[in-house]
Homo-oligomer: A and B are copies of this chain.
């Protein structure tokens, strides 16, 4: 019963196989290889557009690199107060970005909305030389609350961002879960709604260590190759990162894996609700937040369930525990059922 994180899962078999498959003979390093060439073409096909792709091995790098690219050091990146980039990356965007500023905003269900952006603009002074320059709106898809932006929500944020001279960045660590949930094309889930750069994660979706920074506008990439190299994120045996993505994207594997994870979360959320523990936020992808009575929490952990406890003032208390449950491609239905049964008591 491991619901700690989707990165607690292992690697999807097809991706492990692909590593072995990529291990044939010699290949130049640093991306000058045929696997990388192929996967770059695949990205363009998947997104129905000629894109520029930079592969790295961590989500933190996949987020921080484009933020540094899109914002000057005196820029501001507007994001949700709970966004991973501001809460859980130890200041990576600030480091990569030469001291840029993340501006945390409120928003229901873990989502930014135009009204919140408007209020941020309205409540402070912006722009040089004295004030930081708003440069990027960054949204996480899936959000940290487990919710999913609808295409029209993204489009509204994009309109605001672009209307105020800002770029729109999407932290897609769980982009696959979102696309699977929305039932739209990858293009519709990204650039067609106005996303300028997507940090497209494969690791949580089933890869070993593979994330892609996808620029939909190739004219914005000057310096990206240098940024990746000097931050230590240009992998030398690059074909093995590319191979992970190649398998991930082949035949819609990434969406199959995401659909399974989403289905497990839906089942878990429904089961908990039926057990009297309604999810705190809508279960729209592969994350369930629930407020467990303390006794239930203790029963579950006593039985070996693994998950993280969160704290939100005004939500949890001495009697109830706020828990985050994350499913993955590797989550077994039986484990979900066992968890629900234990929750039911």
Contact = CB atoms under 8 A, between A and B. Distances in A.
Given A91-B74, A92-B230, A230-B92, A306 B26 contact: yes
A226 B8 contact: no
A141 to B, nearest CB: 18
Contact of A60 (B96, B229, B313): B229
A7 interface: yes
A188 B58 CA distance: 34
Interface class of chain A by DSSP: loop
A256 interface: no
Contact of A74 (B58, B60, B62, B230): B230
Size category of the A interface is 35 or more
A36 interface: no
Nearest to A227: B74
Nearest to A94: B99
A11 interface: yes
11 contacts: A10-B237, A58-B234, A60-B230, A73-B94, A74-B227, A94-B230, A119-B313, A129-B225, A133-B226, A203-B236, A231-B231
Given A5-B28, A94-B99, A95-B99, 19 more contacts: A4-B28, A7-B237, A10-B22, A10-B237, A28-B306, A30-B130, A62-B232, A74-B230, A89-B229, A90-B130, A90-B132, A90-B226, A90-B230, A92-B230, A94-B94, A97-B99, A101-B102, A128-B226, A209-B237
Interface of A: 2, 4-5, 7-11, 16, 19-20, 22-30, 56-62, 64-65, 72-74, 87-92, 94-102, 119, 122-125, 128-133, 203-204, 208-209, 223, 225-237, 240-241, 306, 311-313, 330
